[in-house]
Amino acid sequence: GIRERHIAGPGETNLTMSVAAARQALDVADLTPKDLGLIIVATSSPDHFLPSVASEVQYHLGAECPAFTLTAGCTGFVYALATAHQFIAAGAYDRILVIGSEVISISVNWEDRDTCVLFGDGAGAVVLEASSQPGGVQSFVLGSDGSGAGYLIVRGGGCAYPISHEMIEDKAMYIEMNGREVFKFATRVMEEATLQAIDRAGLTLNDIDLLIPHQANLRIIELAARHLDLPMDKIFVNLDRYGNTSA
């Protein structure tokens, strides 16, 4: 279901894309960086292991707040959104900037057709603010199943398989995916999580006007839509233009 993707150009990094997206979000919210209480960046492709890209974003924006990076793969943005919601609901912070940013292309083996056709680079940001008005995050569902770790993995570069000549010759710094297993997992879990989130919000499927799923694969989205008995005109799809941009 992918027609085109966008790849970071020379000089573009996770940091530069995060900052650009953040500035646009702040402009829309009519806020300045100094209005922020916290910054959360969700990414699996930071510029460096150290320092945290969130701290660099905070500095380059000119913000004066804490910041941290959250890594949860393609679910990173949802995890970051739920985390920010909890900080606000607990009264810790009034305004939180949430960024999802990925430069997946650095981990793509362009000779591996199972993965290289899928992924694109991109960043997006939202500002969450405490409010007495009805609305906001009405529910969330988070999950994890580490038993399938090997189905979508970058084996090299971490402490389990450190950088070495052998690692590079093994091409272990690239994304490896068992597409069949990921497909089976994704279609099942997307349906389950959708129904759980709707139920926790005290709603029914008939109350939903628009479903915005993770943009991984059009077949996954279409199958989940059939299982949920939702027409495709109620489901947001833009992966034809951007590919899978992970978090």
Mark whether 74 is an active-site residue. Answer: yes
Do the strands 152-154 and 122-129 form a parallel or antiparallel pair, or are they unpaired?
unpaired
Q: Which residues have a Cβ under 8 Å from the Cβ of 14 and sit 6 or more positions away?
A: 43, 45, 46, 47, 53, 101, 102, 103, 123
Burial of 137 (0-12, 13-18, 19+ CB in 10 A): middle
Q: Specify whether 6 is catalytic.
A: no
Choosing from 214, 217, 227, 238, the catalytic residue is 214
Q: 163 near 172, Cβ under 8 Å?
A: no
- Active site residue: 14, 74, 85, 217, which one? 74
d(CA 35, CA 41) in angstroms, rounded, equals: 17
Which of 14, 85, 217, 244 is catalytic? The answer is 244
Strands 95-102, 38-42: pairing is parallel
Exposed (0-12), middle (13-18) or buried (19+): which is 1, by Cβ within 10 Å?
Answer: middle
d(CA 176, CA 121): 17
What is the enclosing helix (H) or strand (E) of 67?
A: strand 67-70
178 tagged catalytic: no
Q: Which residues are catalytic?
A: 74, 214, 244
